[in-house]
């Protein structure tokens, strides 16, 4: 999966000025970042009668705790967008948020990006000083491989000292339904009402959309789906085994073209093919990485081997939301689109 590689994205120096470092001790003292061994963990978060808050995330062995439910929340853009769908607002975001034309990046979902502080808009960009100035009480993000997604390695230690951090698993052995459940757990711990009509309707829509995918696969059997991402020099073919969305699609019956196991990248997400070898795997449908750093169909027309792929010739290329916003509302739309894509596909490979 996601590889927000510097091959794709621009980089700039992190703002880690002395002012931010000077705030670390004070904010840590009042932010409740220590993990109490006797805190109540459980599947989701808790808000005890005393007002204390705890949440067992998908990275730490112990629950994350605070003296009260965090209000000053900073989150990875996709995580923030999911929380927003549950009615939980964040003060700041990091990750793809604003496009070059000033419009919201798709990762921002339904959020009004003019109302959040953008600490970084690309991979490895995180303004530590600005983060400290927000007096954060919680940092929320996803995790694909045991790390905090989009938290730069170079400044990770400084960032994690400023506030407790919670990460929701969306890769490896996690499936979309589990990632959705855990994101909802986090939202609930932060005050979201999962029994509201909006939340109930979104869950019902997701369940109905899942059924539509199952029905589409049964009605149009044998359709082979390749999940790809285009870069200038390489074409990446993803395995369905290590991404939450693809694992869930596969459980619904979707048949994927899987790259050779021994050809995968070290983290096990994809095989890198030169454009000369882009036709190595045949498929009826291509789900193409829709992220802003990946080449889209118009740009890929310049690649002769792309144009020769059977699915491309047949016009059976659909966008893949490579980093889903893990709210039931947003994932329901992904499944509805997938069902239509499979239902309308013709066997061409």
The pLDDT of residue 12: 27
Q: How do strand 45-47 and strand 53-55 relate by DSSP bridges?
A: antiparallel
CA distance 244 to 260: 19
Residue 39 is predicted with a pLDDT of: 37
Q: What's the CA angle centered on 230, arms 228 and 232, to 5 degrees? A: 160
Q: Which long-range contacts (CB under 8 A, 24 or more apart) does 62-67 make?
A: 62/35, 62/36, 62/37, 63/35, 63/36, 63/39, 64/35, 64/138, 64/164, 64/165, 64/166, 65/32, 65/34, 65/35, 65/36, 65/39, 65/164, 66/31, 66/32, 66/33, 66/137, 66/138, 66/164, 67/32
Separation of first and last alpha carbons in the chain? 24
111 contacts 104 by C-beta, under 8 angstroms: yes
What is the full per-residue pLDDT of the chain (349 aa) written as tens digits? 545 543 333 322 222 223 333 333 333 333 443 433 333 344 555 554 458 999 999 998 899 999 999 999 999 999 999 999 999 999 999 999 999 999 999 999 999 999 999 999 999 999 999 999 999 999 999 999 899 999 999 999 999 999 999 999 998 779 999 999 999 999 999 999 999 999 999 999 999 999 999 999 999 999 999 999 999 999 999 999 889 999 999 999 999 999 999 999 998 899 999 999 999 999 999 999 998 889 999 999 999 999 999 999 999 999 999 999 999 999 999 999 999 999 999 999 9
Q: Which residue, 220, 249, 253, 251, is CA-closest to 335?
A: 249
Angle between helix axes 197-219 and 328-344 (nearest 10 degrees) is: 20
pLDDT digits (tens, 9 = 90+) for 286-314: 999 998 889 999 999 999 999 999 999 99
Q: At what angle do helices 77-85 and 328-344 cross, to 10 degrees?
A: 100
DSSP-derived letter for residue 221 is T
Q: CA nearest 94: which of 111, 70, 118?
A: 118
The SS3 of residue 277 is helix
Q: What is the pTM of this model?
A: 0.84
Q: What is the pLDDT of residues 137-168, one digit of tens each?
A: 999 999 998 999 999 999 999 999 999 999 99
Q: What share of the chain is helix, strand, coil (3-state, %, to 5)?
A: 35, 20, 45
């Amino acid at each position: 999966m996601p590889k927000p590689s510097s091959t794709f994205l621009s980089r700039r120096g992190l703002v880690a000025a002395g002012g931010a470092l000077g705030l670390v001790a004070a904010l840590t003292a009042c932010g409740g970042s220590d993990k109490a061994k006797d805190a109540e963990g459980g599947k989701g978060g808790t808000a005890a009668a005393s007002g204390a808050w705890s949440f067992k995330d998908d990275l730490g062995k112990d629950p994350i705790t605070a003296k009260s439910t965090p209000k000053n929340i900073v989150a990875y853009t996709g995580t923030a967008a999911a929380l927003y769908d549950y009615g939980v607002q964040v003060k700041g975001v990091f990750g793809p948020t604003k496009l070059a034309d000033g419009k919201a990046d798709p990762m921002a979902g339904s959020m009004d990006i003019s109302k959040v502080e953008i600490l970084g808009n690309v991979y490895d960009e995180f303004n530590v000083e600005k983060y400290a100035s927000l007096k954060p009480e919680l940092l929320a993000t996803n995790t694909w491989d045991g790390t905090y997604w989009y938290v730069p390695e170079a400044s990770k230690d400084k960032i994690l000292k400023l506030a407790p951090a919670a990460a929701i698993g969306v890769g490896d052995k996690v499936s979309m339904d589990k990632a959705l459940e855990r994101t909802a757990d986090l939202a609930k711990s932060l005050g979201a009402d999962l029994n509201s009509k909006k939340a109930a309707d979104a869950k019902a829509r997701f369940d109905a959309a899942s059924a539509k995918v199952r029905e589409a696969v049964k009605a149009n059997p044998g359709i082979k789906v390749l999940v790809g991402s285009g870069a200038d020099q390489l074409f990446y073919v993803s395995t369905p085994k290590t991404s939450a969305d693809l694992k869930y699609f596969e459980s619904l019956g979707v048949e994927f073209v899987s790259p050779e196991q021994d050809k995968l990248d070290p983290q096990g997400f994809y095989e890198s093919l030169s454009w000369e070898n882009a036709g190595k795997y045949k498929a009826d449908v291509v789900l193409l990485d829709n992220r802003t750093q990946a080449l889209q169909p118009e740009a890929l027309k310049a690649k002769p081997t792309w144009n020769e792929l059977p699915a491309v010739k047949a016009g059976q290329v659909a966008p893949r939301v490579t980093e889903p916003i893990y709210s039931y509302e947003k994932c329901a739309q992904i499944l509805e689109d997938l069902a239509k894509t499979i239902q309308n596909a013709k066997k061409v490979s």
